[in-house]
Amino acid sequence: MRAFVIRRIMTSIPSVLGVVTLVFFMIHLAPGDPVEIMLGENAAPADRAALTKQLKLDRPIFEQYLSFLRGVATLDLGESIHTKKSVAGSIAERYGATLKLALASMLFAVTLAIPLGALAAVKKDTRYDRGAMMASLVGVSMPSFWLGPMLILAFAVELKWLPVAGADDWSSIILPAVTLGSAMSAILARLTRSTMIETLGEEYIITARAKGLSGFAVIFKHALGNALLPVVTIAGLQLGALLGGAIITETIFAWPGLGRLTIQAINARDYPLTQGCVLTIALSYVAVNLLTDILYALIDPRVRLK
Amino acid sequence: MKSLPLNLKIGFAVTLAFVLIALFAPWIAPMSPLEQDLYGGLAGPGSDHLLGQDRLGRDMLSRIAYGARISLFVGLVVTVVSVTVGSLIGATAGYAGGRVDDFVMRVCDVFLAFPGILLAIAIMAVTGPSISNVMLALCLMGWTSYARLARGQTLSLKEREFIKAAIAMGASHPRIVFRHILPNIAAPLTVEATFGVASAIVAEAGLSFLGLGAQPPYPSLGSMLAEGRQFILVAPHLIMFPGAVIMLVVMGVNFFGDGIRDWLDPKRHARGDS
């Protein structure tokens, strides 16, 4: 297992280096002078010189790159040009809220998807199956930037059951979690259905039925556990994807997380903070994928023996 | 048409309707999408304006029809460019193998390390909001999935007899890639490209929703949703209609893609499904 973990970590290193390099070059993609874009055309020469020095844009590009790499390694991502707070500190303040939202979305998605997918598989080619798959198709096709406002309209404006936005109490997370988790739920329901159909055709399931076990025992004790293995992998990968999707959901619900901070940084043309946010989300995604692979190898020994 | 799967027929009909609306927007739209009527601001659906009016009194039906044009244009351009670039790079990597293949796959891994539309958001953050930058960002984000698919297909294809025969006959490498490999991997890439159109439409709308795509006063379904969100209490029609159009189109295109996949699936023909 240790060899598998080491091998898997080694394969992630080029991706991490690539992400850091791409994020570093982001600022150099700007059409024109990045300092002028951030401060505006009428900025005082002294301010421009100070920002150029702060961002080390007066140094050779290779030196800038090495300094950026050093900063990432020591979690020193510079400071925000507007708030003057440390970028790493600002991200740390918001990271917890995004993680909470991503986990709540995943909980919602899994709770809905697994029973729905399993039911569709057990009742294959019936109206339950067609209904569940239709619902999942609608879920996949409904963009979060429409579902979110529609949920606000129904549950916050009309019914007044839940708050419109913010993160004041526990109920504030429900609508953002449903918005962010619905597409994932649809994907997981379809996957659960297909893996469950495959598992229900396996010989050990036929044996279990031949032994006279009840349908309940066959489905829940023998089939579901095995059918869920690929679902765990996809759920893990989707958790990483939720971090990216949170940008839109957090904007809709004014959720005080990393996604909203990213958009605030972009709108303020705060490049150091934007770079920090993008880098954190991408590296979190790589880390979640790595952890998912390791978790999968722990659950299924065949993976690490390959 | 009898042998075509039902999802292909439904998907084709919805997609065709959307394409026709987008193409014939100037004839379908009752008025200019930019024409203001400040007295009619935020008015709901009625006989004069079937889908109501926005904050500046502009006709929602006209704006949606023109917005569909932007969505379709972005969806098609992004998909065509991404498929062309991605399949060419992927097929070359798979055919060449070795270091070229390793290098291309590591580059793909880096691009795929950005979840969802994060990479496009990052690019838009520095290049500035505009539709051409949206297309550039989505192409940079989109080519990788086609490259991986093309590479995988090429790896299995290059072991086949007819490729070995072409090599033995002295065909040049570009000729093998263009004449023998690419035409044979076109079917799975076409299916993937269909889903790619839906993804690009949603991504464009998402970027416009965040204020990073089409800029006012030009109508984009995403920016219409962003504007409508501010008036959700008094004019819910401003978000209902553009969002419903996006959902229907994405569903239609996904149905269409599913249908093509089913249609091309040889197992289906063996089963004799209709």
User: Model confidence over B64-121: pLDDT tens digits?
Assistant: 999 999 999 999 999 999 999 999 999 999 999 899 999 999 999 899 888 888 999 9
How is residue B154 written in tokens? 């090429």
Asked if A241's CB is within 8 angstroms of B115's CB, the reply is yes
Per-residue pLDDT reduced to its tens digit, A118-164: 999 989 889 999 899 888 888 888 999 999 999 999 999 899 999 98
ipTM for the predicted complex: 0.87
Greatest extent of chain B over all pairs of C-alpha atoms, in Å = 76
| Residue numbers in A near B114 (CB within 8 A) | 19, 244, 278, 281-282, 285
Q: Tokens in use for B163?
A: 């490729």
Domains plus CATH for chain B? 52-265 (1.10.3720.10)
Q: What is the pLDDT of residue B81?
A: 97
What's residue B273's pLDDT?
A: 46
| Angle in degrees, CA B252, B257, B258, rounded to 5 | 95
- Looking at the DSSP bridge assignments, the partners of residue B123 are none
Domains by residue range for chain A, with CATH: 87-305 (1.10.3720.10)
Closest-CA distance of chain B to residue A260, Å = 10
Residues, chain B, total?
274
Distances B100 to A253, B91, B145, B153, B179 between C-alpha atoms, Å: 45, 11, 17, 16, 21
Give Rg (Cα) of chain B: 22
Tens-place pLDDT, residues B182-226: 999 998 899 899 999 999 999 999 999 999 988 888 889 999 999
A188-197, A289-298, B140-149, B225-234: least confidently modelled range: A289-298
Q: Please say if the pLDDT value at position B227 is more than 60.
A: yes
Place A209 in a pLDDT band, splitting at 50, 70 and 90.
confident
Distances in Å between the alpha carbon of A58 and those of A34, A276, B129, B239? 12, 20, 27, 47
Hey, is the C-beta of B132 within 8 angstroms of any chain A C-beta?
no
pLDDT band for position B21 (50/70/90)?
A: very high
Identify the band that residue A224 occupies on the pLDDT scale cut at 50, 70 and 90: confident
DSSP A142-198: S-HHHHHHHHIIIIIIIS--S-SSS-SSGGGGHHHHHHHHHHHHHHHHHHHHHHHHH
Residue A96 CB neighbour total at 10 angstroms? 12
The predicted structure's pLDDT at residue B269: 56
Contact at CB, B115 and A150, closer than 8 angstroms:
no
Nearest CA in chain B to A37: B126
A58-96 per-position pLDDT tens digit? 888 889 899 999 999 999 998 898 888 999 999 999 999
pLDDT in tens, B136-168: 999 999 999 999 999 999 998 988 999 989 999
pLDDT at B274: 40
CB distance B247–A18 less than 8 Å? no
User: What's the pTM value of the predicted model, to 2 decimals?
Assistant: 0.89
Helical segments of chain A, H only: 2-26, 34-39, 45-54, 61-73, 87-122, 127-141, 144-151, 174-200, 203-210, 215-217, 224-253, 258-267, 271-299, 301-305
Residues of A in contact with B15 (CB under 8 A): none
Share of chain A above pLDDT 90, in %: 43
Q: How far apart are CA B93 and CA B104, in angstroms?
A: 7
pLDDT of residue A165: 84
Would you state the torsion angle of the CA atoms of residues A233, A236, A240, A241, taken in this order, to the nearest 10 degrees?
60
pLDDT on residue B19? 93
